[in-house]
Amino acid sequence: MEVNRTRALRGPNLWSRHTAIEAVVTCDGAERDLSANPAFEKRLRELFPSVGALHANKPSTPISMAHALELTALALQAEAGCPVTFSRTTETEIPGTFQVAVQYTEEAVGRLALQKAEALCAAAAAGTDFDVTAVIAELHELDEDERLGPSTGAIVDAAVKRGIPFKRLTSGSLVRLGWGSRQRLIQAAEVDGTSAIAEAIAQDKDLTKKLLHSAGVPVPLGRPVEDLADGWAVAEEIGLPVVVKPQDGNQGKGVTVGITDRAHFDIAYAAAAEYGVVMVERYLPGHDFRLLVVGNRLVAAARRDPPLVIGDGEHTVRQLVDEVNRDPRRGVGHGTSLTKIRFDAIAEARLAAQGLTADSVPDKGQRVVLRNNANLSTGGTATDVTDSVHPEVAARAIEAAQTVGLDICGVDVVCETVIKPLEAQNGGIVEVNAAPGLRMHISPSFGKGRDVGGAVMDLMYPDGGNGRIPVVAVTGTNGKTTTVRLTAHLLKAQGLRVGMTNTDGVYVNGRQIDSGDCSGPRSARNVLAHPDVDAAVLETARGGLLREGLAFDQCDVAVVTNLGAGDHLGLNYITTLEDLKVLKRVIVLNVAPTGTAVLNAADPAVVAMAPHCPGSVTFFAQDGDHPVIHTHRAQGKRVVYVDRGDIVCAEGRFTKRLPLSRVPLTRQGQIGFQVENTMASVAAAWAVNVPWEAIQKGLASFISDLHGVPGRFNVFDYRGATLIADYGHNPDAIAALVSGVENMPSVRRSVVISGAGDRRDEDIRAQTRILGDAFDDVVLYQDACQRGRADGEVLALLRDGLKNASRTRHVEEIHGEFVAIDHALAKLNKGDLCLILIDQVEEALAHIRQRVEEAKPARVPGRGVARKSTRGAKSVAKKRSVATTGEERAHAHW
């Protein structure tokens, strides 16, 4: 078995809605059916019993080594504590080659699990040993390192429950919630609305105490000290016992409380001094409470108890601590609900104060405190007391948070009980913490957990919003870019700032921010992350879907323009129209329950996607009497069709007519495929509630020129001849172009065409087979890049398609796109029509525009109109770039 390629699918994908590691695996003859080798499965289950019985997705499918890899990788993650359930293995059209998809929750863990599973399967096949326990421990440790901490995780979990999308921005705790103009940021338990000034105040314990004192909030006496001697002088001045802590600290680091003698003080001072300036404060008797304030309300409270053990008269203190630390809830750091108790100089000093050492055997029932500091990060425990907090205590905590200016604030209170006001029991607030730890409230040692994440969501999205902007995803074989551009234009007509991705680039509010083929998930993520985007229209090509999956978890509208006979078949294991349908269907599967799929009713493969949509469906087709349109409308559902020169939008008894005469893109309705693109765009805009006035305004102002839809049926006048430039690149597109050209008068027709080498032979031939019945002259050109084809191979296929042409009588071959364009232009006469199927869109359009401008008559002052001379005009020859900028910068053409 050999794993040839792995990649991370970071969004909904061909296999599932889960993130997954996808691998291409090849197996030799014996590995393709493990039923002939039962010893392998027996050995694998001996090494790793949790893998269970090997099975395939379908009972009739032989179990291969690839299936064993899949199930082992999934089981290893599950045993390491990862919540994963999905995996799948599918054989490709190449015998012995499989695609394996295994869900992951953390990408690094998923990749490592696949590597370890491969090694485990190899060990089982070879009959050698394999330390599965060590591997599971390694995966578990990596998962703890990679996943969000408990505080950030609780907030993100609450966001997910509310349907708010999130994106982790760093390996730490910085997370973006929501999309576009509705996005917010969190970092641990801190929100983007918290000022840096408030955070700085909270870090300065002395300044915080002064501000609270001036606001009438009870605080303990004390101040920062210059050195050890000054510190002891302050301790004697305010009276023992005292608390020693860093002036700027967090998570209880360097804090020691309840100091009653000089020796303990010296140890505590040294511990605090490691974190900067030291403060000495008067020790307030009572319990340590943490009150959590979110916004203007108290949402949780916990009593924190110091780390301690209870003697049994038999075991030493060290042994008792080891036993407590075996609690599975206790770990190292903050990834678990409790932290292990540790021995250090402070713990030993605390034991000494009790007349004990680590090797002492305390009496049965004796409480042995290892630290007076009750922070969970030092091994303490927490008991929920939220329901017992006196209103006055809560008021002081909220007042403290607002005095400092913190949106999420952990207020540390020391008092005998929280059921009485602080002033009535000489209690006080000893610290105010920015970005407080939430785990003591989420999963306390005792008592019930509190939904603090939900409280943070209420703070960040007080209107109950989900942080989403309208997202329209567009896919299909042809018409995607035009539909994307027109849909974005219609949304813009409503006054929205629109982000758009397509094969030409990335645009935000009309400004291009990236160029090249940007129809994949990375460009889509960039649009969704832009703070100036109110709505997103995203072209969703097959390449990005295969490479990474979708950039979003769900969309409001999924538009499938058409599939026709398909395109790019034979690449990346998408070999049939059925394969392509399953792939393109991904955006329909991930429509929001309140969303809409806009589907071409005239394309059976697209119609078959309708039952898979979680939301509603709008069908469109030019023929209003099409059975799909007729049936859907009879059911009172939305349809869009053409009737007597109007686009008709109907739902139940509602009908809206949009005259095609006011839609320049369609040239009075003559260009059939542009009519279909317009219907799809109108249906998408209707689905996201764009007002009809805005839709009509947008349709009238959208022009099919170099700025509106570059490379999509751009029409020029060249010395009285009609030029049409288009990026048609498959048989269905060519057929649609021919249909549009048929409605345009001409004396003689010519076409300039090349072919993409990464298409199937029959697809390349089919393009010229269609053109040969519609054009008099054909100019074939070969570009610099043949995408894996031998020199002249594409031209030979194109010429082969013209063998039985009914109209074409003259065929020429030219090397170079721009040379071919110039050659065709030179032969045009007034009244002729020339279709130029461009390949390098921007460069070719610039070249055509230059030639058109040169051919325009020039005005000579006082002498009327003179014809510009084109003598000496040079054709522009540019070497084609294989990998364009933007989305496909690092990838070859799909």
Give the DSSP letter string of 443-508.
S-SBS----HHHHHHHHH-TT-------EEEEESSSSHHHHHHHHHHHHHHTT--EEEEETTEEEE
In order of start, what are the domains of the chain with their CATH numbers? 2-146 (no CATH), 150-195 (no CATH), 471-701 (3.40.1190.10), 714-837+841-867 (3.90.190.20)
| 363 pLDDT higher than 80 | yes
| 869 pLDDT higher than 60 | no
pLDDT of residue 877: 37
pLDDT of residue 872: 38
| 405 pLDDT higher than 70 | yes
What residues form DSSP beta bridges with 865? 859
Angle between helices 761-771 and 793-800 (to 10 degrees): 50
* Cα gap 275→689, rounded to integer Å: 57
Show Cβ contacts of residue 65 under 8 Å, excluding neighbours closer than 6 positions: 1, 25, 27, 31, 32, 34, 121, 125
DSSP 8-class letter at 51: G
User: Which tokens in the block code for residue 463?
Assistant: 């209107």
What residues form DSSP beta bridges with 297? 294
How deeply is 5 buried, as exposed, middle or buried, from its count of CB atoms within 10 A (0-12, 13-18, 19+)?
Answer: exposed
* Cα gap 580→578, rounded to integer Å: 5
Label the pairing between strands 591-600 and 555-560. parallel
User: Which tokens in the block code for residue 503?
Assistant: 């094969």
Type of residue at 742: E
Burial readout 660-676 (b: 16 or more C-beta within 10 A, e: otherwise): beebbbbbebebbbbbb
Q: Specify the residue for token string 């510190």.
A: 231
* Cα gap 265→551, rounded to integer Å: 56
Q: How many CB atoms lie within 10 A of CB 306?
A: 21
User: Which tokens in the block code for residue 233?
Assistant: 């002088």
Q: Specify the residue for token string 């409230």.
A: 441
**Cis preceding linkage at 241, omega within 30:** yes
Q: Are 587 and 524 in contact (CB under 8 A)?
A: no
CA-nearest of 679, 652, 823, 846 to 750 is 823
* Mean pLDDT on 594-604: 97
What residues form DSSP beta bridges with 749? 833
pLDDT of residue 794: 87
- The pTM assigned to this predicted structure is 0.85
pLDDT of residue 285: 87
460 pLDDT band, cuts 50/70/90, is very high
Residue 544 phi, psi dihedral angles, 5° rounding = -65, -35
743 pLDDT band, cuts 50/70/90, is confident
pLDDT of residue 256: 87
Q: Are 713 and 739 in contact (CB under 8 A)?
A: no
User: Which tokens in the block code for residue 535?
Assistant: 């709505």
Q: Specify the residue for token string 């913490």.
A: 433
* Cα gap 688→656, rounded to integer Å: 16
Q: Any idea what the Cα angle at residue 181 is, between residues 178 and 187, rounded to 5°?
A: 45
Q: Are 246 and 254 in contact (CB under 8 A)?
A: yes
pLDDT tens-digit map of 243-276: 999 988 766 678 888 899 999 999 999 999 999 9
pLDDT of residue 706: 65
| 452 pLDDT higher than 80 | yes
Q: Are 304 and 380 in contact (CB under 8 A)?
A: yes
Type of residue at 655: T
* Cα gap 107→102, rounded to integer Å: 11
pLDDT tens-digit map of 95-151: 999 999 999 999 999 999 999 999 999 999 999 999 999 999 999 999 999 999 989
* Cα gap 649→691, rounded to integer Å: 13
Q: How many CB atoms lie within 10 A of CB 313?
A: 10
Q: Specify the residue for token string 């300036």.
A: 277
Angle between helices 196-203 and 205-214 (to 10 degrees): 100
Burial readout 345-372 (b: 16 or more C-beta within 10 A, e: otherwise): ebbebbbebeebeeeebbeeebebbbbb
pLDDT of residue 891: 33
* Cα gap 97→160, rounded to integer Å: 37
Residue 190 phi, psi dihedral angles, 5° rounding = -135, 135
3-state secondary structure 164-183: CCEEECCCCCEEEECCHHHC
Burial readout 553-568 (b: 16 or more C-beta within 10 A, e: otherwise): bbbbbbbbbbbbbbbb
pLDDT tens-digit map of 815-849: 889 999 999 999 999 999 999 998 888 889 999 99
786 pLDDT band, cuts 50/70/90, is low
* Cα gap 295→193, rounded to integer Å: 11
Alpha helices in 165-310 (DSSP H): 196-203, 205-214, 228-238, 262-273
Average pLDDT, the chain: 90
First to last CA, the chain: 27
